[in-house]
C-alpha cells in the first residue's frame, strides 16, 4: 500500500432489489455505508432516481461517493468489485439489471490507464446521472482536461439543446 492518500470519486448505481437492503435507493445507501466502513468517506451525494439507459431494465438509484485511500487504482478497483460481489452482483449482460454497480470515475492522481481501467471514466462527460451527483459534492474538481463537473454538465446540456 502506498503512503500517499488519494481521493477517489466512485459512482454507485442499483436497479435491482436486494433481499436485505430493499429497493435500489436502499442498496445505494447501504453501499455508501460500506465505503465509509472500508475507507475514509469524504463526502457522498444525495441519491437520485432516474430512468435506465441502454436497455438496463428498471430505473436506477445513483449517487457518487468521495473516498480517501492509500490504495492505487487497480487495487481500489479490485476492492470495489469485491464489494459488488458481497452485495450479490453476478456476471451477466453488460447493460442488464444489477443489484450494485461501482465505477471509479475520477481520482486525485489525474489520468490513469491500464487494461480494464481508465480514469477519468471514458463516458463521464455523457452521464448526467454521474455528473449531477458529482457536481453536488465536488463542483470545482478539475477532472477531464481541466474541466470540472460543473463545466461537463453545462456541455452535456448544451449538446442536448442542439440535438
Q: Is 89 a catalytic residue?
A: yes
The whole-angstrom separation of Cα 49 and Cα 44 is 15
The region that residue 41 occupies, defined by phi over 0 for left and psi between -120 and 50 for alpha, beta otherwise, is beta
Joined together, the cell numbers standing for residue 135 give 457536481
Q: Which of 17, 23, 89, 155 is catalytic?
A: 89
Please say whether the beta carbons of 57 and 96 come within 8 A: yes
Please say whether the beta carbons of 117 and 105 come within 8 A: no
Q: Is 59 a catalytic residue?
A: no
Q: Which of 7, 5, 24 is nearest to 98 (CA)?
A: 24
Q: Residues with catalytic annotation?
A: 89, 98, 101, 103
Amino acid at each position: 500500500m502506498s503512503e500517499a492518500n488519494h481521493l477517489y470519486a466512485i459512482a454507485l448505481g442499483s436497479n435491482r432489489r436486494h433481499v436485505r437492503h430493499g429497493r435500489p435507493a436502499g442498496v445505494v445507501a447501504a453501499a455508501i455505508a460500506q465505503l465509509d466502513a472500508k475507507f475514509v468517506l469524504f463526502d457522498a451525494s444525495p441519491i437520485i432516481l432516474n430512468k435506465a439507459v441502454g436497455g438496463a431494465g428498471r430505473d436506477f438509484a445513483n449517487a457518487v461517493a468521495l473516498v480517501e485511500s492509500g490504495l492505487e487504482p487497480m487495487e481500489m478497483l479490485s476492492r470495489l468489485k469485491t464489494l459488488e460481489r458481497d452485495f450479490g452482483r453476478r456476471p451477466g449482460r453488460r447493460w442488464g439489471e444489477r443489484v450494485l454497480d461501482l465505477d471509479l470515475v475520477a481520482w486525485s492522481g489525474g489520468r490513469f490507464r491500464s487494461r480494464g481501467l481508465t480514469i477519468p471514466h471514458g463516458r463521464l462527460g455523457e452521464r448526467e446521472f454521474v455528473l449531477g451527483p458529482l457536481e453536488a459534492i465536488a463542483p470545482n474538481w478539475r477532472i477531464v482536461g481541466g474541466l470540472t463537473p460543473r463545466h461537463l454538465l453545462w456541455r452535456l446540456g448544451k449538446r442536448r439543446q442542439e440535438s
